[in-house]
Amino acid sequence: MTIHSEFNISFLGAAGEVTGSCYLVEGPSFRFLVDCGMFQGGKHADAKNRANFSFKPHEIDFLVLTHGHIDHSGLIPKLCRDGFKGPIYTTDATAQLLGIMLRDSAHIHESGAERENRKRKNRENQIEPLYTIADAEKSLGQLKPQSYDEIYQPHTNVKVRMRDAGHILGSAILEIWIKQGKHEQKMVFSGDLGQPGRPILRDPTQIEKTDYLVVESTYGDRQHKGLGPSLDELVDAINDTIVPGKGNIIIPAFAVGRTQEIIYYLYSLTKEKKVSNLNVFLDSPMAQSVTRLTRHHIELFDKKGMELADWYKNHNHEMMLKFTETVQESMALNTINSGAIIISASGMCNAGRILHHLRHGLGRRENTILITGFQAEGTLGRRLVDGAKSVKIFGEEIPVKARIITIGGFSAHADQKAILNWLGGFKNPPKRTFITHGEPKSSQALEKQINDRFYWETTVPKNGDQIILSNN
């Protein structure tokens, strides 16, 4: 029968946008998900996260997760609450990260709902959290950690291998083989590819063969600044701001990946004597937990990362790194007038303790706000990058007088050149390449480059598109 030589892929998120990564792959005998991420940024994100899934969760056989970032993993507790009972496959390190991140996400949703309900006088108009800590705990019980580079078989007709994507701790490129009858086809999901040459983590693994490819395009329309100039900008920002009588540096940073990278750079610059006597405060409980976890996975570091870890053992006194343990300690940071580097989540300034530091710090000309990561449309971070003269935080209009500096060379995502170089490692063209996880201009720019350079058949899918793939 013809149906046995075909299977479908549905693009249920991260299509025409960067967040909400979710792909449904189904054939006559199987149905599985790749990622189940939360939508972030924009006025419709909450509605999209609360909407019913377009499939029946109890009919999904298993889920394969590329990495722990919330825009890839954040709806897993909701998926499990709504009936998914199958295994969740991911790397060992990602499974450990999820123990931190999903609990934290659930706490944020529970606290947010409680806060909102206190404001509402009508008890019949109360809202429920997107999911609860109990939902998160249930989903963590379904994790099935796997090692890099080993093939496992989650279904009779499906085999999977996870390769290092070099994006964040535990991130993976997925190789998936689908067999129906005598035919076997291979799919590759890039997940989020890391930028080669970044510190701490290894470069993305090169894949040589696939029949179908799903590739990210977050920065598909641009090149990152070189690392050297970006580090020079960081040094200049420190020396211009962290001096007697001046101000503080406030760094909104993603708790996973970016925070650890910034700490690495600050230690590295201290080692090279380009900066000295830094007082660094890490004010994010989740980032603290992830930083501790990262230190326990030195086996995943690249050579330079291992060398700096060795140096740190005997020189940790040369830079003060303090983890704020209590809310009171976090609040006390806002009484420091100068000399502090405050790293806090969230990276797009849309939640968490960073909002309090921006509320107190944006109005001071002596301060510097360092933006070191991607800022999605609709987020506070994006408004700051776009030059807003004032922003609203906790209902209060805050003037933006501090310097806003964007350092583009620290991205954990591959830029256009790096993506194209990775694609150039395939020995034969995929039958079809799907370009996702990017705003439209980024995806379309990458598609044009792929067409011009490789002459591949490409598609930029829209959200909700279902595409039939041949298994011949």
The tokens for 266 are: 């600050």
pLDDT of 399 strictly over 70 = yes
Do the Cβ atoms of 217 and 228 come closer than 8 Å?
no
Phi, psi values for residue 8, rounded to 5°: -115, 150
Q: How far is the C-alpha of 166 from the C-alpha of 7, rounded, in Å?
A: 30
Instruction: Tell me the one-letter amino acid at 244.
Output: P
44-58, 69-83, 287-301, 422-436: lowest mean pLDDT where?
A: 287-301
Rounded CA-CA distance 374/82 in Å is: 31
Average pLDDT value for the chain: 91
Q: Residue with structure tokens 């499974």?
A: 95
**CA atoms of 128 and 94, how far apart (whole Å):** 28
Mean per-residue pLDDT, 417-439? 97
pLDDT, tens digit, 9 for 90 and up, residues 431-441: 999 999 999 99
Mean pLDDT, residues 82-105: 96
Q: Per residue in 215-267, pLDDT tens? A: 999 999 999 888 889 899 999 999 999 977 799 999 999 888 888 889 889 99
Which H or E element spans position 423? helix 416-423
Task: Write down the residue that tokens 């007709």 correspond to.
Answer: 157
SS3 of 64-93: ECCCCCHHHHCCHHHHHHCCCCCCEEEEHH
Helix (H, G, I), strand (E, B) or coil at 227: helix
Q: What pLDDT, on a 0 to 100 scale, did the predictor assign at position 199?
A: 78
Of the candidates 93, 77, 76, which has an alpha carbon nearest to the alpha carbon of residue 35?
Answer: 76
Is the overall model pTM greater than 0.75, yes or no? yes
Work out the pLDDT band at 286, boundaries 50, 70, 90. confident
Higher pLDDT, 350 or 173: 173
Percent of the chain with pLDDT over 70: 99
For the chain, give the percent of residues with pLDDT over 90.
70
Residues in a beta bridge with 251: 343
- Residue 137 pLDDT > 60: yes
Q: Are 281 and 322 in contact (CB under 8 A)?
A: yes
| Cβ pair 69, 437 in contact under 8 A | no
Highest mean pLDDT among 11-15, 37-41, 405-409: 11-15
Q: Which of 90, 94, 85 is nearest to 64 (CA)?
A: 90
Tokens 């075909």, residue?
6
| Cβ atoms 258, 347 nearer than 8 A | yes
| Residue 5: band (very low, low, confident or very high) from pLDDT cuts 50, 70, 90 | low
The more confidently predicted of residues 256 and 459 is 459
pLDDT band at 2 (very low <50, low <70, confident <90, very high): very low
Measured distance CA(25)–CA(466) in Å, rounded: 9
3-class secondary-structure state, position 30: coil
Question: Residue 177: pLDDT above 70?
Answer: yes
Domains, the chain, in order of start with CATH, read 2-222+412-470 (3.60.15.10), 227-410 (3.40.50.10890)
Average pLDDT over residues 334-342: 95
